[in-house]
C-alpha cells in the first residue's frame, strides 16, 4: 500500500511528466498555425527556438519519468547513466542556446544566412532559456502552494529538483 503523501508525489510527477510531453507536440502545432495564419516567410528562427524549447522539454520528460521510477519503487535510485546523461544535456543545451545569437549575428554580417529574428522568435528563444534555467539551475515555476510558501518564507528561489538530484548523485558516486 502506498502512503497518501507518496501518492500525492506520484500524482504530481505524473502530471509534470505528462504535461511536458503534451507540450512537446502542442507548442509546435500552435507555432505552425500562428506562422501560417500570419503568412510569415522567415520561419527559421521560430523553428530553431521551438526546437530548443522542445528539446529541453523532452529532457524534462525523461527526468520526471526517471524521478517517478525512483518514487514508485522504494529504495530505487537513479540509473547509473543519470549524471552523465544530464551533464551532457546541460552542456549541449548551453551550446545550442549560444548558437541562436550566433545565427542572428551571422545573418547581420553575411547574406548567406537567412535568420531574421523577430520579437516573436526571440520570445520563443527566451522560453527555451527559461526552461533551461528552470530545469538545470533554479526552479522558476511556482505552481503549487508549497512552492509559494518556500518563496515567501525564505525570499529566494530554490534550486531546481534536477540540479539537486544531480548534486546528490554526484556526491554519492565519489570514491573516497
Long-range contacts of 121-124 (CB under 8 A, 24+ apart): 121/45, 121/46, 121/48, 121/49, 122/45, 122/49, 124/31, 124/46, 124/49, 124/50, 124/53
d(CA 9, CA 93): 28
Sign of the Cα pseudo-torsion (17, 12, 130, 90, in order): negative
CA-CA distances (angstroms) from residue 1 to 4, 72, 73, 173? 9, 11, 12, 31
Split at pLDDT 50, 70, 90, the class of 41 is: confident
Task: Kindly tell me if the per-residue pLDDT of 1 is higher than 60.
Answer: no
* Count of Cβ atoms closer than 10 Å to residue 80 Cβ: 10
Give the domain range for residue 95.
4-172
Identify the pLDDT of residue 174: 55
**Overall average pLDDT of the 72-100 stretch:** 92
**Overall average pLDDT of the 84-104 stretch:** 95
119-143: string of b/e by CB count within 10 Å (b at 16+)? ebbbebbebbbebbebbbeebeeee
Percent of the chain with pLDDT over 70: 90
Split at pLDDT 50, 70, 90, the class of 91 is: very high
Residue identified by cell 530554490 is 158
Number of domains observed in the structure of the chain:
1
Q: Which residue has the higher pLDDT, 117 or 167?
A: 167
Task: Kindly tell me if the per-residue pLDDT of 158 is higher than 60.
Answer: yes
Identify the pLDDT of residue 176: 46
**Overall average pLDDT of the 76-104 stretch:** 93
**Overall average pLDDT of the 137-158 stretch:** 76
- Tell me if the pTM is above 0.85: yes
Amino acid at each position: 500500500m502506498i502512503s497518501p503523501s507518496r501518492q500525492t508525489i506520484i500524482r504530481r510527477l505524473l502530471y509534470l511528466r505528462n504535461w511536458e510531453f503534451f507540450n512537446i507536440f502542442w507548442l509546435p502545432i500552435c507555432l505552425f498555425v500562428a506562422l501560417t495564419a500570419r503568412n510569415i516567410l522567415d520561419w527559421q528562427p521560430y523553428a530553431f527556438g521551438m526546437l530548443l524549447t522542445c528539446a529541453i522539454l523532452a529532457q524534462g520528460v525523461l527526468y520526471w519519468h526517471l524521478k517517478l521510477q525512483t518514487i514508485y519503487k522504494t529504495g530505487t535510485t537513479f540509473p547509473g547513466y543519470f549524471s552523465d546523461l544530464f551533464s551532457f544535456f546541460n552542456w549541449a543545451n548551453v551550446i545550442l542556446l549560444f548558437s541562436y545569437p550566433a545565427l542572428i549575428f551571422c545573418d547581420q554580417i553575411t547574406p548567406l544566412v537567412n535568420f531574421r529574428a523577430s520579437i516573436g522568435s526571440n520570445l520563443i528563444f527566451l522560453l527555451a532559456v527559461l526552461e533551461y534555467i528552470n530545469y538545470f539551475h533554479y526552479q522558476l515555476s511556482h505552481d503549487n502552494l508549497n512552492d509559494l510558501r518556500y518563496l515567501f518564507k525564505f525570499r529566494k528561489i530554490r534550486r531546481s529538483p534536477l540540479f539537486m538530484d544531480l548534486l546528490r548523485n554526484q556526491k554519492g558516486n565519489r570514491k573516497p
